[in-house]
Structure 1
Amino acid sequence: MPVTDQADIVITAFDWVPDFARGFVRDLRPRWACEELGLDYAEHLISAMERPADHYRLQPWGQVPVLRDGEVTIFESGAILLHLAEKDERLMPADPQRRANAIAWVFAALNSVEPMMFELGNVDIFAKDEEWAKLRRPGLIDFIRTRLTRLSDALGEKDYLLDDFSVADIAMATVLREGVEAGLVAEFPHLSAYLDRCTARPAFTRALEAQLASLRLNPVAA
């Protein structure tokens, strides 16, 4: 199990989140990348309720994850994924075009798909009783379906976005998981099978278990 007390790689994560967020916080992404590459990492857990002042110097909005890799500190899960992927061709192909494709798909996952999933979470969870959310949801669902249709067409019959598993699949699979509860991914057989294939990987299972194990059941009282 790559989670250790001491390691060159340290992932900052929350020590508690609400039930709906358990297993979905973005520190899952670097955990998964480390598990795929067999990289030992340590956890630095902080309170989501009372975020330390010094954390804002590392992450301007107080979010997670933040990664420290030796002398390098980096925030934003996509940037962290690319940093880790550069360590090994198992996540980042050496071929220039395939490398470009992997990078492009990471950006596509986080810029072309995830914002709509994030908005759906806002509509369905945080603002579900608001009139504007009820009015917004049908159009939002249609727009997400359009994006997923294009994604499904691009994936086609391939096992993974680049045929072989790469950092692009860590980004895209974690985004697609956000649409499972709404039933959207199930509408697209290729995407549903792709997501099942990604999340069946032992490295994903270990990363998910590690995140869940790090989370308290209740927040620490302020």
Structure 2
Amino acid sequence: MIPTITTFGWVPEFARGFVRDLRPRWAFEEVGQCYRVDLIADSKSPEHRRLQPFGQVPTYRDDEVAIFESGAIVLRIAERAGQLIPAKPARRMRALQWLAAALSSVEPYVMALAVNDIFEADREWSNARHAKVVGDLKTRLADLEAVFGDNVWLDGDEFTVGDLMMISVLSELRGNAELAHFPLLSAYTRRGESRPAFRKAMADQWATFKAPAAS
């Protein structure tokens, strides 16, 4: 079967370009794999929760596996294609380490800012908490910036699943001034977003969300 992902058939405009089906879409484009998209309107339905117990998107299935979580999905796409993951064990494990770091060491700080300033902006404590959230994010971004030196990608000159996931996370700061304080990270994110596969994935996501809502 053609690998299939599940995502929303429609989201508000402010969310377009940020829904996490963008990550497997990008991976599919990088490895040249055709795929299908099943569109849903309600991620909390009993039917969808059988695939994704937390009521989120995306999910993934092929003729061997059915999984959820964007990091696991990207890893499956890469391993199935034999691309985006170096063959040598040391470099392979470093790529996987960066995929995990993007999701567990960087994204929580990015999401804390989004939760505070967007989703909970109307709470009485949001303004007071903003400085702390930004400070924590800047500390973590400074740690990441220190990694680069002259590297093009996280582990030198080879783009891997670690870069795909890290840039996906940093791209969530699109339109936010905080990333601009870190020139190496800003340039790194732009390099990733300029890849033809990323641009195609982004365009396809926007095209989906501009279509009529899934019934």
TM value normalised by structure 2: 0.94
User: 1:67 maps to which residue?
Assistant: 60
* Cα distance in 1 between the residues matched to 2:187 and 2:148: 11
Contact 1:127/1:133 (<8 A) preserved: yes
1:212 equivalent among 202, 206, 210: 206
2:91 matched to 1:98?
yes
| Counterpart Cα distance in 2 of 1:155 and 1:74 | 33
Q: Provide closer, same or farther for how the CA distance between residues 156 and 95 of structure 1 changes in structure 2, counting only shifts above 3 A.
A: same
Q: Is 2:142 the partner of 1:149?
A: yes
Shift of 1:8: 1.6
State the 1:71 CA deviation.
2.6
- Where does residue 21 of structure 2 map in the other structure? 27
Number of residues paired by the alignment?
214
- Alpha-carbon displacement from aligned partner over 1:143-198 (angstroms, at most 9, x marks no partner): 11110001011122211112210111110111101123221111111001100000
What residue in structure 1 maps to residue 33 of structure 2? 39
Mapped to 2, the partners of 1:137 and 1:78 lie a distance apart of 28
Q: CA deviation at 1:220?
A: 6.3
The one-letter code matched in structure 2 to 1:12 is: T
Cα distance in 1 for residues equivalent to 2:214 and 2:69: 25
Assess, with a 3 A threshold, how the Cα gap between structure 1 residues 98 and 75 changes in structure 2: closer, same or farther: same
Does the 8 Å contact 1:106/1:168 carry over to 2?
A: yes
Correspondence for 2:152 among 153, 159, 164: 159
Contact 1:106 1:171 in 2 (8 A): yes
* Cα deviations by residue, 1:9-68 (Å, 9 ceiling, x for unpaired): 0011101112221011001000000000000000101014x6442110010011111011
Equivalent residues in 2 for 1:71-150 (5 A)?
A: 71-150=64-143
Conserved? CA contact 1:46–1:52, under 8 Å: no
Kindly indicate whether the alpha-carbon contact (under 8 Å) linking 1:28 and 1:208 is maintained by their aligned counterparts in 2: yes
Does 2:4 align with 1:10? yes
Residue 114 of structure 1 deviates from its aligned partner by 0.6
Runs of 5+ unmatched residues, structure 1: 1-6
Moved over 6 A (4+): none
Q: Which moved more, 1:83-92 or 1:154-163?
A: 83-92
2:12 is matched by which residue type in structure 1?
P
Q: Distance in 1 between matches of 2:211 and 2:75?
A: 31
8 A Cα contact 1:10 1:68, kept in partner? yes
* Structure 2 spans left out of the alignment, 5+ residues: none
Query: Which secondary structure state, in structure 1, belongs to the residue aligned with residue 152 of structure 2?
Result: coil
How far is the alpha carbon of 1:105 from its aligned partner? 0.4
Q: Secondary structure at the match of 1:155?
A: coil
- Residues 91-131 of structure 1 show CA distances to partners (whole Å, capped at 9, x for unaligned) of 00111011110111011001111111111111111111222
Report percent identity of matched pairs: 47
